[in-house]
Amino acid sequence: MNPDGFRHRRRGRSRPRLLPLLGLSLAAAGAAVLAAVLVREPVGSVTPGVESVTALSTDQPARREALEFRMTDPDHGWIRYADGVRTTSDGGITWTDSASVPADPAWGAAEGQELPGPEELPAVKSLQFQARDYAVKQVQFVSPELGWALVQDEGELGGGLLVTGDGGRSWQREVTQPVRDAIRRAKLELQGRLKEAPLYASAEAARLVFRSEWLVMPETAVPGGAVLIRHTKPGSVYWNGRTYRLEPYGAGYFTYLPIGMDVKPGRYPIGDKMLTVTSKKYPSQYLEVTEEMNRMRQDTKRIAADQAKINKARSVSQPEFLAGGPYILPVEGRLTTPYGHTRYVNGKFSGAHLAVDLAAPEGTPVQAANEGVVVLADSLYLTGNSIYLDHGMGLFSQYAHLSKLQVQTGDRVKKGDIIGLVGTTGFSTGPHLHFAFWAHNVQVDPNLFFGRSPFHWLSLPEGSGTEVR
């Protein structure tokens, strides 16, 4: 018996799933003719056990040479041999004979979705296994740490794959615990990307996201605006005197950053990216109200009591995006005061109006701008009947001066749900909806959200649309 044949048999015994096949093969071992017939069986019926028989029964063992392989995700893949195909659905722990190479799905297609491929991955030309150097015929990584390789051998590896769970520093034939851990992490990353990828404007945009450590979406903003930050790892961002914690979502970690009206134009580093704040001049607005109404604004005790309620409602936000898609205008109304107007009431400066006013007839239904949770539905002194919705990740929308509240604190609402009716309660000169967005308790421009998902704020670099990968 030649040593090569011996190695084949020993390997067979070390893998329990091969035992029945091996037993069957040994029973047939006396009949060299049968073995010869078996190796000529059509593609798909040849088993690893039969290979052992061949090795035993001839002086020149047949090498089962693997021609190519592909892992379509951390679980699923195939190896094609000159005489058959084997597939795996558990990351290569077990392999089964298959009639043919499975249809070549896109990475992640097992979950029924196309997913942009992974980022820059190790390139391996040769590797060391059991103190021997091998030339690599084919290598495929699905994450920076998890990869498989097919090497040029003399048959001693039996046409199997080698696998690494540490980015190619060490390679194994068996799926060891560290490799299993790498598979588990790669699957979590894959699931996260499958959840996150559809939120972006295009597959190209998603590819850019998954290849970037830091993202500032968009990279240019104005005072009164907001940006969405993404990082690949947990942590926090220090911005304009405050620390913002990054919350996990999909495969990344996120926070909104409000660009307050006090932020000076300039370039601000965020991780390895740069946020450019450009100046914006907001127009002025002059309002005349009755002295009785103007006196309303001086009841600081009632205003402070309301503010305590509002602060409490806005102090906690769901640490996830409750709404990923575009926001809608809550009423089809006439825009009477755009965002950011500097206001003068009866000739006196009264601050900037950091909301939009939409005039509409009393009783016009007001819709939730997006999915969220009602964190406050109450009658307040200045803003009248008011609603605050939490959209998650520190983003709230506010609806004021309603004639009627149609939700209660704690309700969960969907985009477009009627939550109240237009009115003129509180400090108001006529029926209208005062609508604002609050990002981490700073009022930001609602126009950034209307008709556009915050995930679409991502700016693609020039010419990136033509990039092929």
| Shortest reach from residue 208's CB to Zn ion, in Å | 38
- Residues touching Zn ion: how many (CB under 5 A)? 3
| Contacts for 14-20: CB closer than 8 Å, 24+ residues apart | 17/94, 18/48, 18/49
The tokens 């409000």 sit on which residue? 258
Q: What binding mask, one character per residue, do residues 385-424 give for Zn ion by CB under 5 A, x or -? A: ----------------------------------------
Nearer to Zn ion, 229 or 358 (CB): 358
| Shortest reach from residue 211's CB to Zn ion, in Å | 42
Contact 437, 446 (CB under 8 A): yes
Nearest to 440 by CA among 392, 408, 402, 400: 392
Nearest to 461 by CA among 204, 123, 127, 258: 204
Q: What binding mask, one character per residue, do residues 306-345 give for Zn ion by CB under 5 A, x or -? A: ----------------------------------------
Contact 285, 346 (CB under 8 A): no
Residue 357 sits in the site that holds Zn ion (CB under 5 A): yes
| Shortest reach from residue 356's CB to Zn ion, in Å | 7
The tokens 């063992």 sit on which residue? 61
| Shortest reach from residue 425's CB to Zn ion, in Å | 13
| Shortest reach from residue 223's CB to Zn ion, in Å | 19
Q: Which stretch binds Zn ion (CB under 5 A): 86-94, 121-129, 302-310, 349-357?
A: 349-357
Nearer to Zn ion, 323 or 355 (CB): 355
Nearest to 155 by CA among 75, 76, 58: 58
Backbone angle region of 426, left / alpha / beta, with phi > 0 → left and psi within -120 to 50 → alpha: left
Q: Which stretch binds Zn ion (CB under 5 A): 67-75, 179-187, 206-214, 357-365?
A: 357-365
| Shortest reach from residue 457's CB to Zn ion, in Å | 25
CA 43 to chain centre: 41
Q: What binding mask, one character per residue, do residues 425-444 give for Zn ion by CB under 5 A, x or -? A: ---------x----------
Report the b/e string of 23-46 with b at 16+ CB within 10 A: eebeebeeeeebbeebeeeebeeb
- Here the tokens at position 90 are 């558990």
274, β-bridge pairs = 269
Nearer to Zn ion, 140 or 307 (CB): 307
444, β-bridge pairs = 437
Nearer to Zn ion, 208 or 355 (CB): 355
Interface with Zn ion (CB under 5 A) = 355, 357, 434
